[in-house]
Structure 1
């Protein structure tokens, strides 16, 4: 496994790989959110005879399988590394996305969405494992910020492109195109990324001892892990609501065309992506001046959650212009929390050897947020006939996220993991020492 020392000797290559990880997560979000544009299209609604509740279930199908497989994929990333598990899963979800263009029944659509969720479950655990092993604390905010630009520009780019393809061609071509084009990413990934684990014989002897004390029980005993799960749920609820329901909200309640809704979805997610990268770099700069990393990142996270609450101003705005402004502003402002929350709850406060598993556990909460946001919002829309009530729920969760950050994310409550390196056999020549507990 490469360490930060290895990364220091090859600074250019690690940024190239980080760029590939950001591009990979962007493609995953394009593929997972393209369905939201399709579900705002009247032809699709008529073809599948969809109610608002049905649309909620279709949107949610991805998140349920995605959540179930987060912990297993975190284990896979820790055990087998990043390169090959990521490549195999990437090809699988791209092919499943393209296949959605051939479905003719609602059940088939849901099954493919479930399959995409399984395959994409590798993305976040593998990516954070790689970042933690290649960047120091004073760089993680910016590195995570750049990486998360991918998962924000995914829906930002995917929404208008998907809408344009649907309007000018068809929803079937949209799925085929977005799925098939993504496969091109595999070429540089396979050529440029090195396997980050030693040969199998060494891996069994060395890694088995090193990871023997990283158990699911010890992780779940940490208030920091639970605080991260609450944060990820509350943050994810807002962002996934925007991914799954924003196009429909803009079309049905604010009277925009499907293409216009894609444009404003782009502005919202481009805004949160840019703010995420800038705020992550700003926090790194403050930390480099000697400030406490935990205190600095917590301040950014709380500010982001509070700023996101301005979504309610858009809900009650009487003019279209102000409604669109607050819609874009609230999600963009949440970007203050993006990189710093992830760096804090998955890197800064987490022992290096537990990154994959902890990320997998926290991603369960994130995927649960996606499933709940999609289904609950659909049900609330069905019973109330308005998007006001779904947005009120967002407001409540953002306040809970701010409170969880202040109360639970404390260094003394981090997971307690003890490195155990086997006495025999000794570490093979050239293998790095086990990373110290942070």
Structure 2
């Protein structure tokens, strides 16, 4: 007897585990908000620098030390949590980080102690140090390798959006309510994000989480799944070159977050509101450059362009452009032209921080990826420990504030140009990935 039963096709387990695009972008959206809050927290100190410095009796050098204290444990915690992420679910690690952010901001609502202020900044930095690397590690579990650059750039764009909204919004709160109220507001936003994260994200993605099935809808570009000695990865040309590019990019970011509002007020006489508007415009441009760089990088990669060029040399070009524009801005005689060139010079390398993450993800075994990404961000952001203190000391020691700022921007320009030259010589992700696949 013949039957006409329609049998349900049996799908391979790997196909069943493939994440939906909607789910992947929901997670990316929440992680984008995570980065927005992260950079809102960072930007707040710079926006509140004038009333905060007055309340705590800080001069420029003292404020610079407070700003740098944020980065004291920033890199250390980035590495440590990165190694933890090799073994623990990233969704829980992310939740803990944001809870600590909110708790560390709360003393600013009442304290007048410099010691408590510094302790608050150090704790906040320790909790925010792993943020970008861990967010990417979590997001990478939802996208195949060649499609990761755009969502990684979207996450990084959260840094610009966070500061873009923080600049006018928090400046209004500081001017019309109180600078302490702005810290309370950011703490509450962190708690609200935690509630959304717990409700909406209840699993890890299927792409390469430890202890999960790894699926792929295309040939992987990443290192094969044997363990690679960390020293081999850390001493590869791609890792070293990308760290230098990231360091240069973040040197500018750290100056922008900690000093640009004061630079605009003390160096060029802008009001707090006008300075906040310029800062907002700066981060709007920076966000557009981050997204545009990410889109271009991913499009080139999907069209078959070598990642040496679509990621590595594109990053080199953006850092070099930033160095040249910053140099021209520092030397320009027109105040308006100088500010425009300096803001463009700091903004240009911004997207590089997202690209160096995908460069080093490309040469890393999946089960070691959390540690590699944590270390990548930790080393690049060491710039944040140096830049604010350097600028504060330069401003205090110069004959006038503007001269001190100009010297700081010249140093930034040199760092960018040198990093671009070294990065161009060293970054070869395809070659390094192939070499690392071969056991010694």
- TM-score, normalised to structure 1's length? 0.86
For 2:175, the equivalent position in structure 1 comes to 167
Where in structure 1 are there 5+ consecutive unaligned residues? 421-438
For 2:259, the equivalent position in structure 1 comes to 245
Match of 1:400 among 412, 415, 418: 418
For 1:333, the equivalent position in structure 2 comes to 348
For 1:10, the equivalent position in structure 2 comes to 20
Q: Offset at 1:178?
A: 1.6
Q: Offset at 1:181?
A: 2.3
Distance 1:126 1:340 in 2: 15
CA contact (8 A) 2:36 2:158 kept: yes
For 2:290, the equivalent position in structure 1 comes to 276
For 2:317, the equivalent position in structure 1 comes to 303
CA contact (8 A) 1:300 1:336 kept: no
CA contact (8 A) 1:66 1:121 kept: yes
Please give the per-residue CA displacement for 1:267-300, whole angstroms capped at 9, x wherever unaligned. 1122111111122112222222222122222232
Query: Does 2:144 correspond to 1:136?
Result: yes
Distance 1:49 1:354 in 2: 46
For 2:36, the equivalent position in structure 1 comes to 26
Where in structure 2 are there 5+ consecutive unaligned residues? 1-12, 215-223
Q: Offset at 1:374?
A: 0.8
For 1:148, the equivalent position in structure 2 comes to 156
Distance 1:56 1:414 in 2: 40
Match of 2:371 among 349, 352, 357: 357
CA contact (8 A) 1:314 1:324 kept: yes
Residues 415 and 153 of structure 1, relative CA distance in 2, 3 Å threshold: farther
- Count of residues paired in the alignment: 408
**Residues 30-429 of structure 1 aligned to structure 2 (within 5 Å):** 30-39=40-49, 41=50, 43-196=51-204, 213-309=227-323, 310-335=325-350, 337-344=352-359, 346-384=360-398, 385=400, 386=403, 387-411=405-429, 412-414=431-433
Residues 417 and 410 of structure 1, relative CA distance in 2, 3 Å threshold: closer
Residues 336 and 95 of structure 1, relative CA distance in 2, 3 Å threshold: closer
CA contact (8 A) 2:34 2:193 kept: yes
Q: Offset at 1:8?
A: 4.1
Residues 21 and 415 of structure 1, relative CA distance in 2, 3 Å threshold: farther
CA contact (8 A) 1:304 1:333 kept: yes
Larger Cα-atom Rg: 2
CA contact (8 A) 2:227 2:365 kept: no
CA contact (8 A) 1:277 1:339 kept: no
Distance 2:317 2:332 in 1: 23
- TM-score, normalised to structure 2's length? 0.86
Distance 1:6 1:357 in 2: 28
Please give the per-residue CA displacement for 1:54-104, whole angstroms capped at 9, x wherever unaligned. 111110111111112111110111210211111011111112113212111
CA contact (8 A) 2:226 2:365 kept: no
